[in-house]
Each structure stands twice: as structure tokens, then as C-alpha cells.
Amino acid sequence: MIDKTDLWIVIIGLGLGSFLLRFTFIGLVGGRPIPEWMLRHLRYTAVAILPALVAPLVVWPAATDGQLDAPRLMAAAATVAVGLATRNVFGAIFAGAFVLYSSMYLLG
Amino acid sequence: MPATTPKTRKSRPAFWRGCTDSAPFLLVVAPFAMLFGVLATEAGLNLTETMAFSIVVIAGAAQFTALQLMAEEAPTLIVLASALAVNLRMAMYSASLTPYLGHAPLWQRAILSYFILDQSYACSVVEYEKKPDMTLPEKLAYFAGTSLPIVPAWYAFTYAGAVLGTQIPESWALDFALPITFLALLAPMLRTPAHVIAALVSIVVSLLMAWVPYSLGLLIAGLVAMIAGAQAELYFERRGTAR
């Protein structure tokens, strides 16, 4: 169970922190140029962090007590494949859900 | 918001253009917000807490990250650091909007900062690049327009998900909705070899670092992958094969 005090610390801290991330450049830096090395790293934040969050959830799903699970692996693969091929977020989600449900049904 | 009450008639069309340009994103935003409402409720958050989360933070991926780590009982500091790391891209959006909107009054920049979202950023930057002769009020009006459909929908569908939350049966395997959604968001971002390298490094390091306590592995993997992406970009640039 999530502790209520911790929860509110996270909500408020994350709210303030997210606002500062959004505000820092446009609010404080204003018209000054931003160093190229910093922009170069910022460009990769999303593709650097999201896979690290998802990979353990795919390989060791909590719902199967951390056991490798064929339907979930196949669903993840299908999502990435369709996402890469079509560049369509919706199509990718749909493909992943379809493979997850049909393989769970077939593999029982 | 600065531009919802335009004094010049010229900024009106820009505002509505922003609305219509960002409206299609509702198809992604609505289910994503709803999923947050459902998962937050399942993690034991009540309606007030769930809504506060979506209203105060207003960043889907970071909210999911925080929720996931709190459910894993990671220390609060790690939860905050990891979720903020997920949100670092907002700093990039802010930086790249600065040349266009940086001359607005400070109070307007403070207000619009809250509304810097994946969708409002994506629409605005394309529009500003396409129409370099837009005036500042027009740009602000357009930006305000892009967040108008998205933000209320984010709140409303979080609410719907929170209300629906506990009624969803376990056989729906909702545990896997989060990985699928993130992977679906991620795949189209893999535009260059450097992006692919960053993502692969991220996967490998996060799996190798799974033993590290306090879910610190996520931060380590993110940092290493970010450096890998930046270095790969430099490498491909030098070889003249980038993009």
C-alpha cells in the first residue's frame, strides 16, 4: 500500500519539479542560446528512459510473479514492430492488445 | 491563459487553428488519461489523490513512472528523481520554444509553462517553423489553442478512469496496458540510428541493473543511454551519415 504522506510529497514535488523543467528555459533563460551539448543530451531523454522503465516490466511481469510470459513478450514485440512500421501510436497499441489477448486465449 | 481573451481580432484564427491542429491527439490523450485513472485507483489512490496527480503534474509518462515506482515501494526520493528524469524532455520543449515565445511578458511565460505538453509542443513548433512571420500574440494564441482540447480532456478522462477503476476484471491483463502504451509511444520516436542506440542501451543497462536497490537502475540506465545517444549522434555527424 502506498503511504499517504509519501504520495502527497510525490504529487507536490513532481508537480513543482515538472513546472520548473517546463519553465526554466523559457522563463529564466529567455533569449540566451542554450549550449549545444545540453540540447544534444536532452534530445535523447525520452528514448533513453522509457525503454529502461518498460524492459523489466516486459521481461519480468509482476502479474506472473516475475516469470517470463510468452503472451506479454509477443505483445511487446508486436507493439514495437507495428509502431516502427506505421509510426502510428494507436495502431501499435491496438496490435499489442490484439496479440496479448489472442495469445492469452490460445495459450490458455 | 494569456491568449484565451485575445484583444486583437487577428489572434482569433490562430487560436482556433491551434485547437483543430491538436484535436486529433485526443485519440491518444483520452485513453492514456483514463488508463492513469484506472491504474491509480487500483494502486489504492482515492479520487482526490488521483485527480490532484493529473492536475498538478499534467505529464502522463512521469505520472505512470511515479505510480509504478511507488507501487514497488521505492524510496520517495528515487520516485521523484526517476519521474522527473522522464519529464526532462519538457526542458527540451521549453528550450526549443524559447526563440519563439521568449519575448512574451514573464507572467505569460509562467502560465504557458504549465501547458507545455507533448501535444502542444509538437503542434506549435511545426506551426512556428512553417509560418515565421507570425506575430507574438498570434504565436501565443496558437499555443493556447493547442492546449485547449488536450488539458480538459486529460482531467476528465483521468476522472472517468478513476471512477471505472476497480470494476475492471483481472482477466483484462491491465498490468500490461502500461508497457504496451509506452512501447507504442516509443517506437515512432526511433527516427535516427542514434535514437535506436539510445533505446537499445537503455534496455540492456536496465536489465543488467535490475539488482540495484531502490529502483536506481532506471536512473542509471537513463543516464547511460542519454550519453550513448548523444555520443552516437556526434559519431554519425562526423561520419556525415546522420539523418
> Which of B94, B170, B205 is the mutation pick for testing A, counting most A CBs within 10 A?
B94
- CB-nearest to A87 from B31, B188, B222 is B188
What per-residue confidence (pLDDT) applies to B242?
46
> Residue B72 and residue B91: Cα distance in Å, rounded?
27
Count helices and strands (H / E) in chain A.
Answer: 5, 0
The residue extents of the domains of chain B are: 11-170, 190-239
Per-residue pLDDT of chain A in tens (108 residues, 90 and over written 9): 788 999 999 999 999 999 999 998 888 876 667 788 888 888 888 889 889 989 998 999 878 888 889 999 999 999 999 999 998 888 998 999 999 999 988 886
Low-confidence stretches of chain B (pLDDT beneath 70): 1-12, 241-243
Tell me how many domains chain A contains. Answer: 2
> Residue B117 and residue B146: Cα distance in Å, rounded?
9
> Residue A9 and residue B194: Cα distance in Å, rounded?
36
Task: Using the Cα atoms of residue A81, residue A83, residue A85 and residue A86 in order, give the sign of their dihedral.
Answer: positive
Residue B5, burial from CB neighbour count under 10 angstroms (0-12, 13-18, 19+): exposed
* Placement of cell 526554466 in the chain: A24
- For A74, the domain range is 47-108
In this structure, are A62 and A83 located in the same domain? yes
In this structure, are A99 and A86 located in the same domain? yes
ipTM higher than the 0.90 cut? no
**Distance set, CA B20 to CA B65, B121, B196 (Å):** 30, 14, 32
- Which amino acid, one-letter code, is at B79? V
Dump strand ranges (E) for B24-125: none
In this structure, are A37 and A52 located in the same domain? no
Q: What percent of chain B has pLDDT over 90?
A: 55
**Distance set, CA B156 to CA B34, B160, B243 (Å):** 8, 6, 39
pLDDT tens-digit series, residues B147-201: 999 999 999 999 999 998 778 777 777 778 888 988 988 898 898 999 999 999 9
What per-residue confidence (pLDDT) applies to A30?
66
In this structure, are A18 and A58 located in the same domain? no
First to last CA, chain A: 31
What per-residue confidence (pLDDT) applies to A43?
84
- CB-nearest to A49 from B58, B194, B222 is B222
Decide: B54 and A15 in contact? Cβ < 8 Å.
Answer: no
What per-residue confidence (pLDDT) applies to A33?
73
What per-residue confidence (pLDDT) applies to B176?
85
Q: Which three cell numbers stand for residue B165?
A: 477503476
What per-residue confidence (pLDDT) applies to B10?
54
> Which of B78, B183, B201 is the mutation pick for testing A, counting most A CBs within 10 A?
B183
